[in-house]
Structure 1
């Protein structure tokens, strides 16, 4: 039995109403997490794209709660992923400072190539999970649901991936 608050079968007209009603308030809500307007708008846009793409499968009891929670979770994932990239870059810079005469100039293309090689050396499932998390921006829970595995398995695979990537980058720089 569906409550009167349950939303399902979203059509283009109702989606437009939802978008117009909630886009700005959700952006304001995310400004508590970051002041990066572009990141906020990207995250909120992703939430609405996901809502539209999964409209046939979703039965949302409280739309506002769903949108705010989805936006918060995506923003936290975005910030975590950004921090991971910053940490990898900081490690790269630290290693290069001892090698390079000019610490002000770093080759981001070279770093990207090394990072891509490190990712490609991961075991298949580990690599797939890493890519879904870092490049596709899926949450760990979404990845667990996609592969029908536990959240702990996803966390474990991500820990393995990050450890191996850091080790590869460090060994490459040695």
Structure 2
């Protein structure tokens, strides 16, 4: 690849000539060294993009060295990344909690009481209460959806809260 001394990699014909001459060689180098699993075609493209980004700093005589070095470094970075991914895949999530058995039992009993108390609410109270507390809707939104006044929604929610407090001790 002999170029005149005043040629520049930023010139389209020079860059195109470098691409046509070296792209297959860089690809084969990466493929033989690292295999197909790490996408050598992508790394070749990225190396040529870096060459284009640095075209003012790289002479045509140094382009081959630049491309091979850049592509090789990209593959080494990908290998490091794959090692990190593999390491994190092997980490097992913990299957324990810091909660005491008593706390877990109390939580379970509380949930049973809560479910039973919700079942004892009227349909209108339960619907408004769950829309407010579970879905996070505001009183105005609930009123629009149910086709009732905002005061009606407030009455249902506060009535539900009063019943829940009576049925569930400790709230």
Structure label with greater radius of gyration: 2
Normalising by the residue count of structure 2, what TM-score does the alignment of the two structures yield? Answer: 0.46
Normalising by the residue count of structure 1, what TM-score does the alignment of the two structures yield? Answer: 0.46
